[in-house]
Structure 1
Amino acid sequence: MQPIRSLRALALLIPATLIACSPGDGGPGEVAGDPEFGGTAIVGVMADFQAFNPVVNTAILTDEVMKHMLFTPLVQYDDGLEIQPHLAESWDLDDAGVTFRLRQDVRWHDGPPVTAEDVKFTFDLAKSEESASLLGSAYLTMVQTATVLDPYTIRFDFVAPHAQPLDAFWWPPLPRHLLQGVGPAELAQAEFNANPVGSGPFRFVSWERGQRLTLEANTEYPEALGGRPYLDRVVFRVIPEATTMLTELLSGAADLIGWTLLPDQAQQLMGQSGIDVRHFPSREFTYIGLNNERAQFRDAETRRALAMSIDRQQIINALLHDFASPGSGMIPEWSPMDPGLDPVPHDPAAARQLLAQAGWQAGPDGTLMRQGQPLTFTMLVNAANRTHQDIATVIQQQLQQVGVSIEIRTVEFQTMLREHRARNYDAVISNWTLDTFKVDPTPLFSCEQARAPQSANRAGYCNPRADQLMQQGLRSTDGGQGERLWGEFSQILQQDQPIIFLHWSDDLGAVGPRLQNVETDIRSKLVNAREWWIPADRRR
């Protein structure tokens, strides 16, 4: 059996831009000396938070705050992307399942210890169809049951042997004693989601929706997990206007920005005194979501022709300042399972031929028609994301050249998300962030998720052969076989184009001169928030 390539080796694939920005290299605002306790850091974010509940949350920033600040996940990744003990201090792994032994010194912020009952409670909620949990569909598809063996030992049994099994447990448990009266169907509306009690290095203080989130140091966090944070508080300020976000960093009113730092802003910040700009590979790709249930998108030929009409490289060069790479599918270049496919080529002439084969002919005004229906659709775009709006405008112009008419509709993000999840849309420009470093496309593309309401398969895509390959790929523990399976799957996906892959984004961020020892890498910009500090003479 061929071994699967170590994720530690993936660290070698990360460009030098990440290494050059590491805290030990002396960024523009870095000072010498030992870390000091105290101070408040201000973090600027463009969009508000969602639900501080790992079972029902779907927003990446909220997820990062939960995993690295508010809660204590079962496992964490180190800087080589290897799984390390965290709440689970050790485990026994076999083909049938895994037994975790939990630390006994992690406590909920209201006092009780975190136990195996909390872990099982969270697992059961995530696996319930009524909760419509992304945690259940993205992490736990290959985990069948959980059994509490004693207060600090829990056994998970697998559906079948499979690759990278420990990646399924990068999530924190919820407090059973506070939520046991809330059913799975009501969990998304639980008061807890806006006033959480966590178990991590920071405690929740307050959340003023649309304004700010305030966290404070947990002075009782176990020393074995790093102890109390250096900072007294971290305040996340919601700054929806991009120019204001930039001004806040340059004026010193914000210490860290990057959710979302736009490519043109990063370009402007390069060389600014005291500002350390970070860019590194991300787990996020940008795509055009297509509702495959709409008449104009039901056939793969039309969808593939649309993809061939888009000049990705022009978008990357002109709008993203080269802080991205063209997307060929949902397996990134840094993955050991990368199939090495070239992106769909920009070829408008071939796109026109493919559209003609699919039955589309030019109407009186030049717009393509099929059976009396025009090839027109409405594209939803996040009103707070200027880059996506610019991309939509360029795509609108490019598709017009082949006879396709698009109406761009900018909407508030949560409204866009609701319509996308309900499949009440034609097309949408969106991002997808891989929840783990494991290859698992089933949330987006499995037939089971296509049949599930409010699922992540918002295209409604179902291809039985692709389904079979996904299941075989997930269960393969042979590295060579896995590469072949995921390669064939990726080729089918590229032919079918259920969504149009645009690009894999670089993750962008910028750190001001006050904040020290900020690590930013493919895991998160918050990965070592517990170790951030501010020199006494730079505090407000």
Structure 2
Amino acid sequence: MTARSIRTATRTATAAALAGTLAIGAAACSKPGGSAAGSGTGAKDSAVVGIAYEPETLSPLLGYGKDGNSKIFDGLLSFDGDMRLKPALAAELPKVSADGLTYTYKLRPGVKFTDGQPFGAKDVVFTYETILDKKTNNAAKSELDAIKSVKAEGADTVVFTLKYPYAPFAERTVLPIAPQHVAGKQDVNTGAFTTKPIGTGPYVLTNWSKGEKLSFKANPAYWGGAPAVKKFTMAIIKDDDVRATRLRSGDLDGAILPPNLAKSFKAEGNRKTYEAKSFDYRTVTLPTHNKVTGDTAVRRALDVAVDRRTMVDKILEGAGKPAYGPVPTDSPWFAKGTERTHDLAKAKKILDDAGWKPGADGVRVKDGVRAEFPLWYLSGDKLRQDHALAYASDAKKAGLDIKTQAGTWEVIEPRMKSDAVLAGGGSPGDPDFDQYLLLKSSLAGDGFNNMAWYDNKAVDTALDAGRRSGKDAERKAAYATVQQELVKNPGYTFLTHIDHLYVVNDKWDGLSTQIEPHDHGLASGPWWNVEDWTPKK
């Protein structure tokens, strides 16, 4: 999960990613907005899309766009449609030393920020050094822990020196670059740059009405070519049903929708549905500081009491797969044998053996503590609501009483230390990206990082080994250990991995989807490459 300063669901979200996103987090949750202003248009050079979440900041120094696809900014590298790295502000892929400790980037010549000032190596150094500064409120700075130094060699070369051979470092350099001549003259945490950014990207922010919309215009001087979509608006509509209604009324040109609502547009020939595979999961946090959820036996019982396959079939209508941890089962990083089969009898036995005995009303009790706890989910998010209700229903069959409650992040966040939350997360690419922030004990209580306050020394050791080793076999063994430990002591109940569904007016060519992070709105969806869309002829 991303922390307070980089919320998007998730991400969140997001979030959203990213993909938090303009992905905001390795694993994003998002602060919700209200109803959106703005309307769709029949013009082929403009688009209005409906998303569920918005960021708290538009500054990459605070985490905005860190996973790529930022429309306002560019990174040194970016991802193509197949999630392969390609040059962006760098003129070519980096040269990496034999020991994996030095990455040298040659910069693309002639690039300018949208205020007309030239981009150069000093901006890259400024961005990375500022993020790593202790005074900067970027909760994702631990993702750049491997950096020992970043230095400019002239105006067109940047050299990163690492403390250890961090295998996915190049993927971290999709992080957007901020202009030193603007952001360097402001307070990094509160300055105007956080809401009125200047970048090198294909679009320029023209307006941000908090809780309503973000409006962009094409950058005519973009180094990658001026976009054909001249105006682009992201309408913030947190309620799934409202988003679908506004799409159907013509108020929107596209939107992300849950499976049941996306299905309702199938027969409409003027719209197309796009399905994106994702690393996005839904999970229930089981806080260590709660007397019920902090009990390992309760955690283990819930892990087998839940019927994941029915959730995929009924809630997602098949658009997803069961989740047993942050790594999808079809990932090469997934540890075979860590799948958990729905087994209610086993769940009951685990609780019986641990001293949780059924009371007169069927709810279990141990040492005077009743087996009940609240489970919060985000208001207006139908998928989270349905997951929460199904989870509570499965738990009740095992004698555990879960009270589901809806709320905004402002209501939920102060309760996360002791109350369970139906959360989301997930980041494609390297397993370090999501698991470190999700499970590392030292990050417990750091905004939306390690929301469950999970504390497992074996997991901490494995996370560090996976991050610091440059050898594939050692890294795979480390992340297998993490997944195996989550079977023994699941600090979260992972439920499903979700395929994202988008419905878009069929008036442009060039639309596609990527493998997406949890953040599903700003940076993801068919508009991940809106700068490459062209009107249908």
Question: SS of 1:269's equivalent?
Answer: coil
Relative to 1, partners in 2 of residues 1:328 and 1:509: Cα closer, same or farther, differing over 3 Å? same
Deviation at 1:200, TM superposition (A): 0.1
Q: Does 1:140 align with 2:144?
A: yes
Structure 1 contact 307–344 (Cα < 8 Å) conserved: yes
Relative to 1, partners in 2 of residues 1:38 and 1:400: Cα closer, same or farther, differing over 3 Å? closer
Q: Does 1:256 align with 2:254?
A: yes
Greater shift in the superposed pair: 272-281 or 516-525: 516-525
Structure 2 contact 324–494 (Cα < 8 Å) conserved: yes
Corresponding residue for 1:9? none
Corresponding residue for 2:414? 419
Question: SS of 1:283's equivalent?
Answer: coil
| Distance in structure 2 (CA, Å) of the matches to 1:433 and 1:489 | 15
Amino acid at match of 2:45: G
Corresponding residue for 2:16? none
Amino acid at match of 1:151: A
Corresponding residue for 2:482? 489
Structure 1 contact 212–238 (Cα < 8 Å) conserved: yes
Amino acid at match of 1:206: N
Counterpart selection for 2:504 from 480, 503, 511: 511
Which runs of structure 2 are paired with 1:13-412 in the superposition (5 Å)?
39-57=45-63, 67-90=69-92, 91-94=94-97, 95-137=100-142, 139-183=143-187, 187=189, 189-222=190-223, 226-258=224-256, 261-412=257-408
| Distance in structure 1 (CA, Å) of the matches to 2:194 and 2:166 | 33
Identity of paired residues, percent?
23
- TM-score normalized with structure 1 length: 0.83
Structure 1 contact 252–512 (Cα < 8 Å) conserved: no
Relative to 1, partners in 2 of residues 1:250 and 1:103: Cα closer, same or farther, differing over 3 Å? same
Structure 1 contact 127–140 (Cα < 8 Å) conserved: yes
Greater shift in the superposed pair: 323-332 or 268-277: 268-277
Structure 1 contact 69–201 (Cα < 8 Å) conserved: yes
Structure 1 contact 164–438 (Cα < 8 Å) conserved: no
| Distance in structure 2 (CA, Å) of the matches to 1:190 and 1:424 | 31
Please give the per-residue CA displacement for 1:37-58, whole angstroms capped at 9, x wherever unaligned. 9621111123334311223347
Structure 2 contact 103–161 (Cα < 8 Å) conserved: yes
Structure 1 contact 287–502 (Cα < 8 Å) conserved: yes
Relative to 1, partners in 2 of residues 1:291 and 1:183: Cα closer, same or farther, differing over 3 Å? farther
Which runs of structure 2 are paired with 1:459-538 in the superposition (5 Å)?
459-523=452-516, 524-525=524-525, 526-535=527-536
Question: SS of 1:178's equivalent?
Answer: helix
Corresponding residue for 2:39? none
Relative to 1, partners in 2 of residues 1:39 and 1:242: Cα closer, same or farther, differing over 3 Å? same
Structure 1 contact 379–409 (Cα < 8 Å) conserved: yes
Amino acid at match of 1:122: T
Relative to 1, partners in 2 of residues 1:476 and 1:380: Cα closer, same or farther, differing over 3 Å? same
Relative to 1, partners in 2 of residues 1:273 and 1:334: Cα closer, same or farther, differing over 3 Å? same
Deviation at 1:274, TM superposition (A): 1.8
Question: SS of 2:277's equivalent?
Answer: strand
Amino acid at match of 1:329: G
Deviation at 1:181, TM superposition (A): 4.3
Deviation at 1:216, TM superposition (A): 0.3
CA RMSD of aligned residues (A): 2.4
Corresponding residue for 1:458? 451
Please give the per-residue CA displacement for 1:216-250, whole angstroms capped at 9, x wherever unaligned. 0000111xxx2110111001122333333223333
Structure 1 contact 378–425 (Cα < 8 Å) conserved: no
Structure 1 contact 255–514 (Cα < 8 Å) conserved: no
| Distance in structure 1 (CA, Å) of the matches to 2:214 and 2:535 | 19
Amino acid at match of 1:121: F
Relative to 1, partners in 2 of residues 1:469 and 1:424: Cα closer, same or farther, differing over 3 Å? closer
Deviation at 1:492, TM superposition (A): 0.8
Amino acid at match of 1:51: T
Amino acid at match of 1:220: A
Deviation at 1:501, TM superposition (A): 0.7
Count of aligned pairs = 483
Amino acid at match of 2:57: A
Structure 2 contact 299–489 (Cα < 8 Å) conserved: yes
Runs (5+) with no aligned partner, structure 1: 1-36
Larger helix proportion, structure 1 or 2? 1
Amino acid at match of 1:109: T
- TM-score normalized with structure 2 length: 0.84
Deviation at 1:277, TM superposition (A): 0.9
Structure 1 contact 55–134 (Cα < 8 Å) conserved: no
